[in-house]
């Protein structure tokens, strides 16, 4: 498979979850893959390195503009271009309107929104010079539907959806496409707490919200990201692609 042959892809949040699965799928499709994460690459990165056209990994903080700029500069210096940016770095958060403190609000907004903004800002400058490129943010269905106890997270993902539209408008004339994926609940480290016995009832309730009756797997989101990043989506920009097992499609009644 070679849908991303000769492409250079930079992926934040690449050490685990959706970011890691996306890095692996991109490598399988022939891309040179560069990961970025606050955490080290880990053993799982070996599988990516084994099949990528080229491979690199940078450790840094998406909320620190200096770290982001350094990574973008190093990738550009090594490869001469950046064709794809995937902003998969993110954190979850729980708390209702009257419970969320300022520190937690800022933490979630900084990582989920500011981090994506900073990477897009600096990678877009490279892509504008190339007159080509694809940026894919990771939003969520929680940025489209309100859920109790999810104020910070839902608000941050709603912001990512709107940021996608604004960036698409800013960059379209430069040949740069900007889209986002809106996953439902996915089996990643962000949802690991729901596997605890004390959270069993909530997890079952969330599973039932999906028409398919289950959480998604990271690779199922990675496949959607692959489409948006590839030339197959050449006429798609400013679009929030919902990949949620039917969460937002409707309700099945027991008739």
Residues with active-site annotation: 153
Give helix 115-130 / helix 65-79 axis angle, nearest 10°: 30
Report the helix count and the strand count for the chain, using DSSP H and E: 8, 7
Which tokens go with 88? 């998969």
Which tokens go with 197? 């016995």
User: Within 10 Å of residue 167's Cβ, how many Cβ atoms?
Assistant: 24
Residues near 119 by Cβ (< 8 Å), separated by ≥ 6? 10, 12, 36, 62, 68, 72, 85, 87
Quick one: CA dihedral 16, 22, 28, 31, positive or negative?
Answer: negative
Give helix 151-171 / helix 102-109 axis angle, nearest 10°: 30
């Amino acid at each position: 498979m070679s849908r991303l042959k000769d492409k250079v892809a930079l992926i934040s949040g690449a050490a685990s979850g959706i970011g890691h699965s996306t890095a692996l799928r991109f490598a399988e499709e022939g891309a040179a893959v560069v990961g970025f994460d606050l955490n080290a690459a880990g053993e799982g990165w070996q599988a990516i390195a084994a099949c990528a056209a080229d491979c690199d990994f940078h450790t840094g903080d998406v909320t620190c503009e200096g770290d982001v700029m350094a990574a973008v500069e190093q990738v550009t210096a090594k490869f001469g271009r950046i064709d794809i940016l995937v902003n998969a770095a993110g954190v979850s958060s729980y708390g209702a309107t009257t419970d969320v403190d300022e520190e937690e609000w800022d933490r979630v907004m900084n990582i989920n929104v500011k981090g994506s903004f900073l990477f897009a800002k600096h990678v877009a400058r490279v892509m504008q010079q190339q007159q080509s490129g694809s940026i894919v943010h990771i939003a969520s269905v929680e940025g489209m539907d309100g859920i109790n106890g999810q104020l910070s997270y839902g608000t941050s993902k709603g912001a990512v959806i709107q940021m996608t539209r604004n960036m698409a408008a800013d960059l379209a004339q430069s040949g740069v496409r900007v889209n986002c994926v809106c996953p439902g609940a996915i089996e990643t480290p962000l949802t690991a707490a729901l596997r605890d016995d004390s959270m069993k009832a909530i997890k079952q309730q969330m599973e039932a919200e999906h028409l398919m009756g289950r959480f998604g797997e990271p690779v199922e989101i990675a496949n959607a990201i692959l489409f948006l990043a590839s030339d197959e989506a050449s006429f798609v920009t400013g679009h929030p692609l919902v990949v949620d097992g039917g969460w937002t499609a409707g309700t099945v009644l027991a008739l």
